[in-house]
């Protein structure tokens, strides 16, 4: 199977149209060689496209944290609702919940969370992107 | 997992069954206390010993704790129907034949009087007896271990002569030594821990009553006979 | 092996205690929050009753002498490894020389440090718990002091913990459908009326309706409560009988005492109620000065709560092994 070139404007156009049609406000595709992020901003004022295509693994680039296994994604550890987070480990970007167990997902050394890519409570599969991280300022 | 357990709040009548000289009531979810409601005597205690033997064999029994004419039964799981359990205990009580435990005879050498006999004078005042008489009455007695409890290896001894009954102190001694030979109400015993103690001390015994590293950590067992032997009398 | 670098008084080695010796006057002892102990051990793949450290005075610091895995459960005390904050209720691998530090918790009181393989002190009368009263068991029958060195047990079936660690959902949250929420700031403790309940007449109702404050005279042996005194309608003369933790006794002052993990083995005060076993861990985490209220339940309700808790603990053990296995397979 040939891989589409994610920097091809025609591909980006088609994906964007598909997103609008599906009412989805963004997509992120990460491959070993390329990554693509499409976000549709300000839907209320008509669709605004922001397209970006970039080489993955470039120094200083935004990268993606993927789910290490299937589970229910939670950005916090579910325990301290109403209580200030005393001691969330510094680089934790969220947790995968499997029954009573929470698997911490971390950004890695010198990285920080940019944004989550899934809503709290979403069931994700192995390898699904769950957060965007960027180098610590 | 149902939410109903968190909601509750209907009044629940206390379970306490009273029948044929015994009464059963719960302590928390897994423990039940059967109390003989008659006289505080050896006959009642012998039936408690018999009941202990029977209940110990029940599959749901985790632990039995014989007390003074009573028996605490701790179960392995919380019973769904506590009333049925209570009735079973009462039936076992009704069937419990008096048994006598073939206990050992333990002789305890005692130094009567002296520095540890902090309450001998008060006991003389109360009884109207001389210190020699109090001591003699105490060592001439033959005692039975009714039960162990309160502190590791402490035996409650029954058989004290009523002439030397002495109520527990309202203000306990703060640091009574292990080994003190004491009287508490109509019972006597030997202190096994140094610390606060409300019983009245009349002497001292060297015998160590408890060794956690031993296969039988407690020297005394229910049913044992105890005699106090005067090693010295310092009056 | 671990070495205690800093500790306050009253921190001890505990497991699930030594029940079975009340008949010779020996206190059961064991963790004040047995749920935290069981969950910590389950998460690590230990037997649920392995020995742990019960920490109730802070700060507390220890050094690991070689690589192992540990988890801090119970009170959230802002634990850190070499100064780096660790997630509460999260099992982590550590290397030799690393230092674990616990600070003062803001809610709850007792933290449990559980280790892969458990703490390997000698078992005395079937338990590794410290009996402070009898001065045996645990670490030489006393509380921990700086410089103490403790051995850890062998791990029979080690978990391959992920590098990120493996946490458990805080049971307060996970079991929120079986444990009632606080009411007006008061902990709700479920109890069953005990033998002398009816002797308290109208005062019995005031036992259930008022909120009680946990006094400063409270420790592992028992909690003394403060509130409007309750008294039996006629004086009661009781014969000494066996008691278990959770029994609520009413001494002549009229202010109840709840016997806790180091409960006396015998008692003679009239007892108005007994706290159900599944709620004892919440009392074990209640702070001095905090308030509580008793709520009546039946044995059937108590059994239902117990089943839910046992199910949760089983689930933690099974799922942690499954998750570790799955992560290994996907490597």
Nearest CA-CA partner of C256 in C279, C299, C222:
C222
Residue C293 touches chain B, beta carbons under 8 Å: no
Distance CA C186, CA C176 (A): 16
User: What is the domain range of residue A24?
Assistant: 9-54
Q: Which of residues 60-99 of C touch A (CB under 8 A)?
A: 76, 78-80, 84-90
- Please enumerate residues of A whose Cβ is less than 8 A from a Cβ of C: 68-69, 77-81, 83, 86-90, 92, 95, 97-106, 126
* Residue range A21-71, pLDDT digits in tens: 776 666 666 665 566 666 555 444 444 444 444 444 445 688 999 999 999
Residue entry with tokens 């506590």: B82
* Residue A4 falls inside a structural domain: no
Closest residue to B213, CB basis, from C124, C133, C191: C124
- Lowest-pLDDT choice from B113-122, C34-43, C265-274: C265-274
Beta bridge partners of B233: B112
Q: What is the mean pLDDT of chain C?
A: 95
**Do C207 and C232 meet the contact criterion of CB atoms below 8 Å apart?**
no
pLDDT: is A16 or B107 the higher one?
B107
Which chains are within 8 Å of B by 3+ CB pairs?
C
At B3, the pLDDT band (50, 70, 90 cuts) reads very low
Tell me which DSSP letter residue C200 carries: G
pLDDT tens figures, B185-225: 889 999 999 988 889 999 999 988 999 999 999 999 999 99
The verdict on B82 and B172 lying in the same domain is: no
Q: What is the DSSP string of A110-136?
A: TEEEEEESS-TT-EE-TT-EEEEEEE-
Q: What DSSP string runs through C176-191?
A: TTTSPPPBTTBEEEEE
Distances (CA, A) of A130 to A43, A69, A97, A126, C20: 23, 11, 13, 10, 52
Determine, yes or no, domain membership for A84.
yes
Domain co-membership, A42 together with A102: no
Asked if C167 reaches chain A (Cβ–Cβ under 8 Å), the answer is yes
Given a cut of 50, whether residue C220 has pLDDT beyond it is yes
Helix %, strand %, coil % of chain C (to 5) = 20, 30, 50
Cβ of C319 within 8 Å of Cβ of A89? The answer is no
Domain extents for chain C?
2-171, 187-297
Chains A and B touch (3+ CB pairs under 8 A): no
Which range of residues forms the domain containing residue B73? 14-95
Q: Which of C165, C178, C126 is nearest to C310 (CA)?
A: C178
Mean pLDDT score across all residues of chain A: 72
- Do B62 and C23 count as a contact with CB atoms less than 8 A apart? no
> The complex's ipTM?
0.93
B166 shares its domain with B147: yes
What does the pLDDT look like over B26-58, one tens digit per residue? Answer: 999 999 999 999 988 889 999 999 999 999 999
Q: What's the number of domains chain B is made of? A: 2
3-state secondary structure of A32: coil
User: If you average pLDDT over residues B78-91, what whole number do you get?
Assistant: 94
Q: Does C316 touch chain A (CB under 8 A)?
A: yes
**Both tokens of residue B55?**
């209940």
**C106 interface with A at CB cutoff 8 Å:** yes
Distance CA C261, CA C109 (A): 15
Q: Are residues A67 and A50 in the same domain?
A: no
pLDDT band at C247 (very low <50, low <70, confident <90, very high): very high
pLDDT band (50, 70, 90) for residue C106: confident
Strand bridging mode C291-296 / C187-193: parallel
Q: How many domains does chain A have?
A: 2
Distance from C-alpha of C24 to C-alpha of C184, rounded to nearest angstrom:
42
State which of B45, B76, B95 marks the end of a domain.
Answer: B95
- Alpha carbon of C271: minimum distance to chain A alpha carbons (Å): 36
Q: Is residue B3 part of a domain?
A: no
C90-94 and C12-14: which strand pairing? unpaired
Indicate the pLDDT class of residue A4, thresholds 50, 70 and 90.
low
- Classify residue A38: in a domain, yes or no: yes
What is the domain-level CATH number for residue B148? 2.40.100.10
A71 and A119 share one domain: yes
Chain B: residue whose CA lies nearest to C18: B63
Q: H-helix or E-strand containing B157?
A: strand B155-158
Chain C residues whose beta carbon lies within 8 Å of the beta carbon of residue B40: 239
Evaluate whether the domain defined by C187-297 bears CATH number 3.40.50.300. no
Distances in whole angstroms, Cα of residue B44 to Cα of each of B57, B221, B226, C256, C270: 21, 17, 19, 30, 21
List the single residue in C with minimal CA-CA distance to B70.
C241
CA distance B111 to chain C (A): 25
The Cα C41–Cα C59 span in angstroms is 23
Q: What is the mean pLDDT of residues C196-201?
A: 94
A83 plus A119 within the same structural domain:
yes
Q: C194–B26: do the CB atoms touch at under 8 Å?
A: yes
Q: Residue C270 pLDDT > 80, yes or no?
A: yes
Say which CATH number the domain at B50 has. Answer: 3.30.1360.40
Residues B35 and B121 in one domain: no
């Amino acid at each position: 199977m040939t891989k589409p070139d994610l920097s091809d404007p025609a591909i980006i156009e088609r994906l964007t149209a598909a997103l609008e049609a599906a009412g989805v406000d963004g997509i992120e595709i990460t491959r070993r060689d390329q990554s693509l992020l499409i976000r549709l901003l300000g839907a209320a004022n008509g669709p605004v496209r922001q397209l970006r295509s970039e080489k993955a693994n470039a120094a200083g680039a935004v990268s993606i944290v993927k789910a290490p296994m299937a589970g229910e994604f939670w950005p916090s550890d579910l325990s301290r609702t109403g209580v200030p987070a005393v001691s969330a480990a510094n680089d934790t970007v969220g947790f995968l919940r499997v029954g009573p167990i929470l698997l911490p997902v971390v950004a890695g050394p010198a990285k920080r969370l940019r944004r989550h890519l899934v809503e709290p409570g979403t069931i994700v599969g192995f390898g699904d992107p769950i957060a965007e991280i960027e180098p610590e300022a | 997992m149902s939410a109903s357990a968190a909601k509750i709040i209907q009044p629940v009548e206390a379970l306490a069954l009273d029948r044929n000289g015994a009464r059963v009531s719960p302590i928390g979810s897994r423990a039940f206390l059967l109390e003989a409601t008659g006289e505080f005597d050896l006959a009642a205690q012998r039936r408690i010993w018999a009941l202990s033997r029977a209940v110990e064999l029940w599959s749901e029994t985790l632990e039995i704790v014989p007390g003074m004419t009573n028996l605490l039964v701790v179960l392995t799981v919380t019973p769904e129907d506590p009333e049925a359990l209570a009735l079973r205990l009462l039936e076992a009580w009704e069937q419990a034949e008096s048994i006598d435990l073939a206990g050992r005879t333990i002789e305890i050498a005692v130094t009567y009087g002296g520095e540890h006999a902090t309450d001998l004078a008060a006991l003389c005042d109360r009884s109207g007896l001389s210190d020699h008489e109090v001591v003699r009455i105490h060592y001439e007695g033959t005692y039975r271990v009714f039960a162990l409890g309160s502190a590791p290896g402490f035996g409650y001894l029954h058989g004290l002569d009523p002439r030397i009954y002495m109520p527990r102190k309202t203000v306990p001694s703060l640091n009574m030594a292990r080994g003190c030979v004491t009287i508490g109400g109509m019972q006597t015993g030997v202190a096994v821990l140094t610390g606060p103690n409300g019983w009245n001390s009349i002497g001292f015994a060297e015998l160590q009553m408890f060794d956690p590293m031993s296969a039988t950590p407690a020297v005394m067992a229910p049913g044992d006979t105890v005699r106090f032997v005067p090693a010295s009398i310092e009056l | 092996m671990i070495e205690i670098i800093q500790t306050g008084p009253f921190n001890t080695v505990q497991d699930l205690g030594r029940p079975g010796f009340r008949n010779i006057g020996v206190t059961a002892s064991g963790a004040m929050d047995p749920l935290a102990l069981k969950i910590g051990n389950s998460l690590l793949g230990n037997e649920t009753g392995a020995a742990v450290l019960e920490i109730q005075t802070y700060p507390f610091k220890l050094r690991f002498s070689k690589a192992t895995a540990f988890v801090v459960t119970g009170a959230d005390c802002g634990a850190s490894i070499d100064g780096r904050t660790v997630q509460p209720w999260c099992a982590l691998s550590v290397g030799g020389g690393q230092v674990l530090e616990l600070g003062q918790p803001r809610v709850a009181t007792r933290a449990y440090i559980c280790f892969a393989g458990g703490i390997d002190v000698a078992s005395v009368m079937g338990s590794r718990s410290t009996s402070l009263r009898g001065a045996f068991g645990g670490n030489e029958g006393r509380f921990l002091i700086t410089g103490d060195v403790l051995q850890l047990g062998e791990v029979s079936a080690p978990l391959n913990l992920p590098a990120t660690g493996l946490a458990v959902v805080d049971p307060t949250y996970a079991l929120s459908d079986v444990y009632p929420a606080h009411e007006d700031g008061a902990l709700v403790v479920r109890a069953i009326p005990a033998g002398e309940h009816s002797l308290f007449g109208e005062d019995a109702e005031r036992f259930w309706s008022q909120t009680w404050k946990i006094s400063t005279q409270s420790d592992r042996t028992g909690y003394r409560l403060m509130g409007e005194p309750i008294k039996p309608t006629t004086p009661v003369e009781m014969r000494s009988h066996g008691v278990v933790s959770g029994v609520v006794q009413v001494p002549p002052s009229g202010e109840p005492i709840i016997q806790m993990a180091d409960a006396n083995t015998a008692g003679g005060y009239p007892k108005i109620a007994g706290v159900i076993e599944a709620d004892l861990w919440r009392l074990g985490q209640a702070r001095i000065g905090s308030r509580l209220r008793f709520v009546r339940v039946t044995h059937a309700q108590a059994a239902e709560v117990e089943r839910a808790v046992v199910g949760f603990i089983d689930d933690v053990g099974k799922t942690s092994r499954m998750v570790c296995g799955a992560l290994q397979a996907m490597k």
